[in-house]
């Protein structure tokens, strides 16, 4: 131990003695185990009708699809899996009920660029189980799934489970601190689906960021306090918007809306990263 590190250790010991370890748990700056966060491109959606996701909008629209990858000292964490990589091989994209899905770059290739295989992902966190968020779920059968219990228990219309019962899973009931250091906290925001969740990330240098999933699809919805009528439970969705506003305020956090196309040019995409 150098003189300087001995000094730092002594100061830390004093601080812990006065403040107690609990105070440190609530003081994430400098303590977060996150080393980096990558923003991954996970597809594009061209909507026939923008109003299906943004009430009041007219004409066609577009949604970006975004995934996020976190390097934490205790493992790699992926938030959402986007549209399926197989769509990249479809010359005309995939026509879904709401529009056209295209994939210009596969998630697998983006991970490979970072020297990773899907099996390197320790935790797979899903905002929810809609197809544009679980398109590559099958690649991560070796990861520990982290979803809300309400989402996990929500059956498909044919009565089948949404997830492979053989996959290792953590089913959260409400907010959940993934690495137990306050660096990645799942925020329960039901309504869009029964067990929808956001992810609050506390980056050591960039600060706190709230990643939305589909509790908000577009900035217009956030600004206008609106949600699509197609949501599973509209009043619950609106209450979740209020919860998000409180979380943003409490944590002085930025809101990053993964489906908002106007935010795409604002982000550094992988292999660049945020610290």
From 36, 71, 105, 130, residue interacting with Zn ion (rule: CB under 5 A): 130
Nearer Cβ to Zn ion, position 105 or 130?
Answer: 130
Cα-only R_g, the chain:
19
Report the C-alpha gap between 173 and 43 in whole angstroms.
30
Q: Least distance from C-beta 18 to Zn ion, angstroms?
A: 46
DSSP line for 216-266: ---HHHHHHT---TTSS-HHHHHHHHHHHHHHHHHHT-EEE-TT-GGGGGG
Report the C-alpha gap between 139 and 120 in whole angstroms.
11
Q: Which residue of this chain has its Cβ atom nearest to Zn ion in the complex?
A: 130
Stretch that binds Zn ion, among 163-171, 175-183, 207-215, 237-245 (CB under 5 A): 207-215
Q: Least distance from C-beta 252 to Zn ion, angstroms?
A: 27
Applying CB under 5 A, does 214 fall inside the site for Zn ion? yes
Instruction: Write out the two tokens for 161.
Output: 């489970």
Name residues whose C-beta falls within 8 Å of residue 98's C-beta, 6 or more positions apart in sequence.
45, 47, 48, 49, 52, 53
Q: Least distance from C-beta 129 to Zn ion, angstroms?
A: 8
Nearer Cβ to Zn ion, position 151 or 214?
Answer: 214
Stretch that binds Zn ion, among 7-15, 25-33, 125-133, 222-230 (CB under 5 A): 125-133
Q: Least distance from C-beta 130 to Zn ion, angstroms?
A: 3
Applying CB under 5 A, does 31 fall inside the site for Zn ion? no
Of how many residues is the chain composed?
A: 275
- Under the rule (CB under 5 A), what is the footprint of Zn ion? 130, 214
């Amino acid at each position: 131990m150098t003189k300087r590190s001995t000094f730092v250790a002594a100061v830390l010991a004093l601080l812990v003695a006065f403040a107690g370890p609990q105070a440190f748990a609530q003081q994430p700056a400098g303590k977060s185990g996150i080393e980096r966060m990558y923003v991954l491109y996970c597809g594009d959606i061209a909507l026939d009708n923008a109003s299906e996701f943004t009430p009041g909008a007219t004409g066609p629209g577009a949604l970006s699809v975004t995934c996020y990858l976190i390097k934490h000292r205790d493992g790699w964490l992926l938030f959402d899996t986007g549209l399926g990589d197989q769509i990249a091989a479809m010359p005309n994209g995939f026509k879904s009920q709401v529009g056209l899905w295209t994939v210009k770059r596969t998630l697998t290739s983006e991970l490979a660029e970072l020297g990773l295989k899907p099996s390197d992902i320790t935790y797979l966190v899903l905002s929810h189980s809609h197809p544009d968020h679980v398109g590559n779920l099958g690649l991560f059968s070796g990861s520990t799934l982290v979803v809300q219990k309400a989402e996990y228990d929500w059956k498909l219309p044919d009565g089948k489970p949404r997830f492979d019962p053989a996959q290792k899973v953590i089913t959260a009931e409400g907010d959940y601190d993934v690495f137990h250091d306050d660096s990645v906290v799942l925020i329960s925001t039901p309504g869009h689906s029964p067990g929808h969740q956001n992810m609050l990330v506390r980056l050591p240098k960039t600060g706190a960021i709230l990643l939305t999933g589909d509790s908000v699809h577009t900035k217009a919805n956030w600004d206008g306090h609106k949600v699509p009528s197609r949501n599973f439970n509209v009043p619950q969705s609106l209450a979740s918007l209020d919860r998000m506003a409180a979380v943003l305020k409490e944590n002085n956090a930025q809101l990053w809306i993964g489906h908002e196309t106007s935010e795409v040019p604002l982000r550094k995409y992988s292999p660049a990263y945020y610290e």
